[in-house]
Amino acid sequence: MTHRIGVVSLSQGRRPEDLNRGLASLQAQQGVELDIVVVGNGWDPTGLPAGVRGLHLPDNLGIPAGRNRGVEQVTGDWIFFLDDDASIPSSTFLSDAVAKIVADPTIGLLQPRVEDAEGKENPRRWIPRIRKGDPQHPSNVFSVWEGTVLMPRPLFDEIGGWGDPYFYAHEGIELAWRVWGAGKRAWYAGDLMANHPAIDPARHSYYYRLNARNRIWLAKRNLPVVLVPIYVASWTTIQVLRSARNPVGMRAWWGGWFAGWRENPGGRRSISWATVGRMARAGRPPVI
């Protein structure tokens, strides 16, 4: 059986060589049928390879909203997201990833291991679990590195896709939580690999502000009311402790923190207490 996969690659047109590398790695995939769209977030995609379509968004809608607009343009039983600076070195990556989910239908989302292709030290955040351990060890996870993600298309539609309001940061936590809320599991497949350059996310000027604001939005949109202050307090404590070693950006972080409480992101759909229990038994209650 040949699996049909809709593929969304989000780009602002600033990394043409990386984008071409990623698209070439997609077109080299075996055993799957792909419907690929490059979403130009404030950019009109041109010069794309044959068989790849472009979607021009005149304004930069942010990462999650841009991905969602791309999903609207593709068809398939599966949906795959590949950042414009990511690539998949194995020509059987997608067929192997689909096979894992087909073999274990309790998996609703799959993120592979991520490595820098030039051998630079890989950021620990690419392994989305508290106890990082061996990067090749697979496990349940409760957040995802968003740059390379595979899901069944019906589940993606059921949970409402990426959270449009976030713009940048923590949309991968919400996606994973909502997968758990739908009775499935988010899975880190350490035996499958994607490539991505090891780059510090703090290079973005809005990094600190949106990290703080979106932590609070994440809680307000997804957690039972009683858990909202507990989750925010735990992460505020962690950030304050971290700032003792790295105070850069804390003014912007506090600005985002207050904005998170002041602003209403909408889209609230609280996970159930049964889901909280499932997540806790699987390794991480949604308060840390």
Q: What is the DSSP string of the chain?
A: -PEEEEEEEEE-SS-HHHHHHHHHHHHT--SEEEEEEEEEETS---SPPTTEEEEEESS---HHHHHHHHHTT--SSEEEEE-TT-B---TTHHHHHHHHHHH-TTEEEEEEEEE-TT-PPPPGGGS-SSS---TT--EEESS--TTEEEEEHHHHHHTTSS-GGGSSSSHHHHHHHHHHHTT-EEEEEEEEEEE-----GGGSTTHHHHHHHHHHHHHHHHS-GGGHHHHHHHHHHHHHHHHTT--TTHHHHHHHHHHHHHS------PPPHHHHHHHHHHT--TT-
Do 204 and 231 meet the contact criterion of CB atoms below 8 Å apart?
Answer: no
Q: Could you give phi then psi for residue 234, rounded to 5 degrees?
A: -65, -45
Among 203, 216, 204, residue whose Cα is nearest residue 255: 216
Low-confidence ranges of the chain (pLDDT < 70): 201-205
Q: What pLDDT does residue 205 have?
A: 60
Pairing of strands 32-41, 3-11: parallel
Is the pTM higher than 0.85? yes
Q: What pLDDT does residue 203 have?
A: 55
Q: What pLDDT does residue 202 have?
A: 58
Residue 152 tokens, joined: 């069944």
Q: What pLDDT does residue 244 have?
A: 79
